[in-house]
Amino acid sequence: MSTIPAFEASYNEPWHLPSRGKVGMFSLIIGESALFTIFVVAYIFYIGKSLSGPTPEILSVPVFSTICLLSSSFFIWLAERAIEKNDMKKFMLWWSTTIALGLIFIVDTGIEWHKLIYGEGLTISTNLFGTTFYSLVGLHATHVVLGLIMLSLVLVFTLTGHVSEHHAERIQVLSLYWHFVDAVWVVVFTVVYILGR
Amino acid sequence: MADQTLPVPGTLDVTPPHHAEGTFLEWLHDWVVTVDHKKLGILYIVYAICFLAVAGTEALYIRIQLAVPDNKFLSPEVYNRLFTMHGTTMVFLVGMPILFGFANYLVPLMVGARDMAFPRLNAFSFWLTAFGGLMLYFSFIGGFGLYGAGNAPDVGWFAYAPLTAKAFSPGNGVDYWALALIAMGFGTLGTAINIIATTLCMRCKGMTLMRMPLLVWLMFVTSGLTLVTITPLTAAQVMLMIDRYLGGHFFDTQAGGSAVVWIHFFWIFGHPEVYVLVLPAFAIANEIIPVFSRKAIFGYPAMVAASVGIGFVSLGVWAHHMFTVGMTSVENAFFVLSTMLVGIPTGIKIFNWLATMWGGKIRFATPMLFCTGFLLQFLVAGLTGIMLSVAPWNWQLHNSYFVIAHFHYVLVGAIVFCIFAAIYYWYPKATGHMLSERLGKWHFWLFALGFHITFDTMHFVGIMGMPRSIYTYGADRGWGTLNMVITTGAFVQGIAVLIFVYNLIVSYFKGQEAGNDPWDAWTLEWATHSPPPEYNFATDPVVKSRRPLWDLKHPEDPDWKYE
């Protein structure tokens, strides 16, 4: 028989540990920030270095879709509050609003790209501007799409009645990701449509 | 064994139930679907040791080719592939997996947890890393098929642009390289997130941050560094793939792109990567040196601060790889000074280890021998590092064998020595059997001898002007004798590693029974059975100090009275 000394079972002081979901998501966000930093730095470094046209002047500022995306952060926050209070109807309403706003953003990006590709003849291989523009904005759009897929999954599970207030913390973890995607857009928007134009 | 004589009244039966012996398929299925951190840790380590053998063999081929002047043992193409694959394998398929393997195995045990924070993510990360490694090696037979040595990447492990452009690297070698690294990058990111969450959220009661074993602290810092280190590499690889497949121009100098940007991006990853590899080595030394000196670690808070300090400083030194690329004198001065700054926290660590050993009752068992070797060699590696950080000295010796000698002193002299120490130290915990001390001493002395023959001599050929990555050299250069010496040393190391692998296998079946606590150590992993049951601890541990097992063994003189 093999034995080990037993530990004292009692521990009287309060013992609090952070939520692993949130710590994990914050870690992912730190890593993602580094990923975006590299693409942003590449974009800034290559501003004005294209040897041929078109130049960033052809871009039009996507004000409407930016408002949609940024305001979705507010609605997802309302959804977080609603689920904490177990108000599933409101949760469903705000959650769907968030998805709708995200969809508007991604569709608007699609329209913008369609104009650029067929109207201006700018593709990823046209010049340095095209390469850096599509990769940076595309990287962000990829994150929006991933976020939308996850948000929609939650919506489906809510409709089938599988989501309740017990999942409030998981919903918050997912919302953190969505907030990050919105925050990154502020940086991308500033660099691409304000500084770089 | 020490634990059975403990004067502790309440003891607890932890003999794990004997599993019925299943068929081979059941056993295999068990390992493939496992989410147990201990099994995944062992998988990582075994995977890394297999690739260590592969990459070591590649190194031996390189050394045979360079042993004598004007040699034609390998063709130039194969030679380029071998040094590329040697570097890539050693960094991504040996260094990182083995260190994450130790983190996987030890961090939950040391913080008194049941498993990692995200066990399924853990399994996913391992299999992604494994897939990346297999994809990299598939390049030998994939791509063009089996023409000679196939179509493995041949662009150096840093793959400088524009050599990686489609025009200069046709075929699929570079693609396999980039895709494998992207896959492993995601796997590594997952593991890093997991270790951070485990450290912060899974600690047992009483395990405050300043009571965590230093190994856990260093793995935590390493993981934090990995988050911001591996993602830039992934970003750069994605850019490379855009250039190669979508006709992008990131690194295309014909269209205004810049090759220097790749060098920056690569080393923004590449230099912190060295610390990602070396901090876990420090972590191992932090656990082994106190136990074999029979003293608590000297200057625990200073060690923590130095580790965090190294983590931050290492993010601002990357361009010391680029002095010969051409920078302004302000940039040169900045990177010279920031690089020298790393010497301060690492110096603190060296002095703390020495102070831990000072006046201790040192037991020179094999793990301690390797750690002592590590101390000496890491000091030399640090000193040549400071030499190379001086820009004018660097202009002379950049890309020479002096640089190769310097970083192999770090990667082999420090990291591989610590990895061997760790395997000798924790093998009894993982398998329940001791490794043979006699074979271990043979392994240590032969490996140390071979190491010094090889890498000490490399400094001299470097100063004599021999550049790295060359296929062969003329007899009139006068490098022939020294290169023969280097090659001889490489084979001595090879023999030592064979002894080690033999020891690993034989001791698994015939090794002496280890018991739960063969080294009379102080951290929580030694409080459970060897090998630990799946649930790790039968009762949740509660700790009051940095050395919980010391407190249990010495209730009359516990640590928590002094902390």
The per-residue DSSP string of A59-74 comes to ----HHHHHHHHHHHH
**Averaged pLDDT, groups of 10, chain A, 197 residues long:** 55 86 96 96 94 90 95 96 92 96 97 95 93 96 97 96 91 96 97 92
Chain A residues in contact with B124 (beta carbon < 8 A): none
> For chain A, which residues lie within 8 Å of any Cβ of chain B, measuring from their own Cβ?
1-11, 15, 17-20, 23-24, 27-28, 30-35, 37-39, 42, 45-46, 49-52, 124-125, 127-128, 131-132, 135, 139
Residue of chain B nearest A27, judged by CA positions = B193
> With contact defined as beta carbons under 8 Å apart, do B414 and B381 qualify?
yes
Chain B residues in contact with A20 (beta carbon < 8 A): 117-118, 197-198, 200-202
B276 touches chain A (CB under 8 A): no
Token duo for residue B500: 């080690």
Chain A residues in contact with B541 (beta carbon < 8 A): 7
Chain A residues in contact with B223 (beta carbon < 8 A): 27
* B10:A5 CB<8 A: yes
* A5:B527 CB<8 A: yes
pLDDT, residue B15, reads 54
* A132:B250 CB<8 A: yes
pLDDT, residue B9, reads 35
* A31:B6 CB<8 A: no
Instruction: Characterise B515 by phi-psi region: left (phi > 0), alpha (psi -120 to 50), beta (else).
Output: left
* A24:B117 CB<8 A: yes
Distance from CA of B213 to the nearest CA of A (A): 18
Chain B residues in contact with A132 (beta carbon < 8 A): 250
B545 touches chain A (CB under 8 A): no
* A51:B256 CB<8 A: yes
How far apart CA B145 and CA B134 sit, in angstroms, is 16
pLDDT, residue A5, reads 57
Burial classification of residue B215, based on how many CB atoms lie within 10 Å of its CB (0-12 exposed, 13-18 middle, 19 or more buried): buried
Chain A residues in contact with B250 (beta carbon < 8 A): 42, 46, 128, 131-132, 135
Residue of chain A nearest B528, judged by CA positions = A4
* B14:A3 CB<8 A: yes
> With contact defined as beta carbons under 8 Å apart, do B433 and B514 qualify?
yes
* B242:A39 CB<8 A: no
Residue of chain A nearest B550, judged by CA positions = A5
Chain B residues in contact with A23 (beta carbon < 8 A): 117, 196-197, 200-201
Residue of chain A nearest B190, judged by CA positions = A28
Chain B residues in contact with A28 (beta carbon < 8 A): 189, 193
* A20:B235 CB<8 A: no
Chain A residues in contact with B229 (beta carbon < 8 A): 34
* B249:A131 CB<8 A: yes
Alpha-carbon Rg for chain B in angstroms? 24
Distance from CA of B413 to the nearest CA of A (A): 30
Distance from CA of B474 to the nearest CA of A (A): 42
pTM: 0.93
Distance from CA of B13 to the nearest CA of A (A): 5
Instruction: List, as one string, the DSSP characters of B238-302.
Output: HHHHHHHHS---TT-GGGT--HHHHHHHHHHHHHHHHHHHHHHHHHHHHHHHHHHHTSPPTTHHH
Residue of chain A nearest B548, judged by CA positions = A7
Kindly provide the b/e burial profile for residues A107-131, where b requires at least 16 CB atoms within 10 angstroms of the residue's own CB: ebbeeebeebeeeeebbbbbbbbbb
Nearest to B369 by CA among B355, B379, B357, B380: B357
Helix H, strand E, coil C: the string for B377-393 is: HHHHHHHHHHHHHCHHH
> With contact defined as beta carbons under 8 Å apart, do B406 and B384 qualify?
yes
* A131:B228 CB<8 A: no
B528 touches chain A (CB under 8 A): yes
Chain A residues in contact with B515 (beta carbon < 8 A): 2
Q: Which of B4, B194, B242 sits opposite A135 (nearest CB)?
A: B242
B117 touches chain A (CB under 8 A): yes
CA-to-CA separations, A77 to A33, A82, A144, B57, B114, in angstroms, rounded: 22, 9, 17, 56, 34
* B230:A31 CB<8 A: yes
B145 touches chain A (CB under 8 A): no
pLDDT, residue B340, reads 94
Chain B residues in contact with A4 (beta carbon < 8 A): 3, 11-12, 14, 516, 527-529, 538
* A135:B248 CB<8 A: yes
pLDDT, residue B372, reads 96
Q: What is the pLDDT along chain B (563 residues), one digit of tens a residue?
A: 344 444 333 445 455 555 556 788 998 999 999 999 999 999 999 999 999 999 999 999 999 999 999 999 998 888 999 999 999 999 999 999 999 999 999 999 999 999 999 999 999 999 999 999 999 998 887 655 455 456 788 898 999 988 998 888 888 889 899 999 999 999 999 999 999 999 999 999 999 999 999 999 999 999 999 999 999 999 999 999 999 999 999 999 989 999 999 999 999 999 999 999 999 999 999 999 999 999 999 999 999 999 999 999 999 999 999 999 988 999 999 999 999 999 999 999 999 999 999 999 999 999 999 999 999 999 999 999 999 999 999 999 999 999 999 999 999 999 999 999 999 999 999 999 999 999 999 999 999 999 999 999 999 999 999 999 999 999 999 999 999 999 999 999 999 999 999 999 999 999 999 989 999 999 999 999 889 998 999 888 999 899 999 988 888 888 888 87
The three-state secondary structure class of B94 is helix
B203 touches chain A (CB under 8 A): yes
What is the bridge-based pairing of β-strands B11-13 and A3-5? antiparallel
Cis peptide before B213 (omega within 30 of 0): no
Q: Which helix (H) or strand (E) holds B124?
A: helix B119-138
Task: Provide φ and ψ at B432, rounded to 5°.
Answer: 85, 0
Chain A residues in contact with B257 (beta carbon < 8 A): 46, 49, 128, 131
> With contact defined as beta carbons under 8 Å apart, do B293 and B355 qualify?
no
Give every CB contact of residue B414 below 8 A, 6+ residues apart in sequence.
B278, B281, B374, B377, B378, B381
* B200:A23 CB<8 A: yes
* B242:A19 CB<8 A: no
How far apart CA B250 and CA A55 sit, in angstroms, is 16
How far apart CA B211 and CA B205 sit, in angstroms, is 11
Q: Which of B192, B194, B261 sits opposite A42 (nearest CB)?
A: B261
pLDDT, residue B142, reads 67
Suggest the residue from A1, A7, A41, A45 to mutate for an interface test with chain B (most B CBs closer than 10 A).
Answer: A7
